[in-house]
């Protein structure tokens, strides 16, 4: 695929989702868009990956393990490290714990091209 068709070429992404098949799908989607991707299924593993690597963006399942506290804990780490991220969730949330990050929330099921476009917008914020 030419670079023009690989909108995330050269970017390193972290996917944090506890649903194995969704994580695999996201990994394939992002790799096809040109990104190098690390997938983790828990906040602890995401924290370890953040300690071990450098990331340009992340996708965080808001309800890792069933509650928003886990997703918010990962978002807090990303925010502290100035790594832009997108929340991914099957349920829309306007909970103040979520909205305080001012991060996009993409609802599952997501459209692949819309998710990639949302990630690209992370790099073009004013």
The 10s digit of each residue's pLDDT in 13-41 is: 999 999 999 999 999 999 999 999 999 99
Confidence (pTM): 0.91
**In the structure, what pLDDT confidence band is assigned to residue 65 with cuts at 50, 70 and 90?**
confident
- How is the beta sheet containing 36-40 ordered, strand by strand? 36-40, 12-16, 57-61, 85-89, 105-107
Instruction: Identify the CATH number of the domain defined by range 3-111.
Output: 3.40.50.2300
C-alpha–C-alpha distance, residues 59 and 118, integer Å: 11
**In the structure, what pLDDT confidence band is assigned to residue 67 with cuts at 50, 70 and 90?**
confident
Residues of the chain with pLDDT > 90: what percent? 73
Residue-averaged pLDDT of the chain? 90
């Amino acid at each position: 695929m030419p670079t023009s068709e690989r909108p995330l070429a050269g970017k390193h992404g972290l996917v944090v989702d506890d649903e194995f098949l969704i994580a695999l799908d996201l990994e394939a989607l992002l790799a096809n868009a040109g990104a190098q991707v690390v997938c983790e299924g828990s906040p602890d593993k995401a924290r370890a990956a953040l300690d071990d690597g450098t990331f340009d963006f992340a996708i965080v399942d808001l309800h890792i393990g069933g509650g928003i506290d886990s997703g918010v804990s990962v978002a807090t780490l990303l925010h502290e490290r100035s790594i832009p991220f997108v929340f991914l969730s099957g349920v829309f949330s306007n909970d103040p714990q979520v909205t305080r990050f001012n991060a996009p929330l993409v609802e599952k099921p997501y459209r692949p091209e819309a998710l990639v476009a949302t990630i690209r917008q992370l790099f073009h914020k004013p």
